[in-house]
Amino acid sequence: MRTNCTVLAGVLTLALAIVPTVAAAQTGDEEPSTPSYWTSTDTQGPRFAVPDGEVGYDGWGYRTTMGLTYTVEAEDPRASGDISIVLVHDWSSKAELGRGLGLSRLVNEGGSFEGPINVVYYPDGSEFRMALMEGQGGYEGLSYTMTNHLDPSGNGQAQGLIWEGDLPELPNVDMLPE
């Protein structure tokens, strides 16, 4: 649990650190809008199989494709709605640890957000998810970041930010020290 909290705190700190950079990079006469911070509760929905889901086993564990859907009820109505996730899921039965990488999409009456999601599965049955999504439809021009933690019982808590502007660019690997 302490590791989950540490990871969650680190991710939220990173998200909070990048928003001022994004806002500062915007041009124009208007001041950028303040990011909307939100928290929510989740209603976990069914997992579903993706066609040709089982990819196979290797020395580390197995890989499969899978999906899940759930509903988020957040303080900010733009962050509320139905989320669908399709991902590649790697699981090590030796380490009782897993990871997933895929695509997430949140849809509600105002529009949608879509983007990549990373998932970590812990030995106690808990999960941590992080998504960075771009707005579509009525949310065009907005960016959305979400962190979500599911405890071993399946109870979820999420938090995130919605801000005006693009997602920050990833660091250029060539700029890193050797």
107 pLDDT band, cuts 50/70/90, is very high
- Assigned token pair, 141: 């021009």
Q: What percent of the chain has pLDDT over 70?
A: 66
What whole-number distance in Å separates Cα of residue 43 and Cα of residue 26? 36
Q: What pLDDT, on the 0 to 100 scale, is given for residue 42?
A: 58
Model pLDDT for residues 32-46, shown as the tens digit of each residue: 566 777 676 655 555
Q: Are 156 and 42 in contact (CB under 8 A)?
A: yes
- Residue ranges of domains in the chain, CATH in brackets: 2-25+35-166 (2.40.350.10)
75 pLDDT exceeds 90?
no
The average pLDDT across 57-77 equals: 81
| 0.75 surpassed by pTM | no
Q: Are 109 and 134 in contact (CB under 8 A)?
A: no
Q: Which of 22-26, 130-134, 151-155 has the lowest mean pLDDT?
A: 22-26
E strand map for the chain: 36-57, 62-74, 81-92, 97-108, 111-121, 127-136, 142-150, 156-164
Give CA separation, 49 vs 7, 85, 133, 144, in Å.
28, 11, 23, 27
Of the two residues 82 and 46, the one the predictor is more confident about is 82
160 pLDDT exceeds 80?
yes
Q: Are 103 and 91 in contact (CB under 8 A)?
A: no
- Assigned token pair, 162: 């919605």
The average pLDDT across 49-61 equals: 62
Q: What pLDDT, on the 0 to 100 scale, is given for residue 17?
A: 43
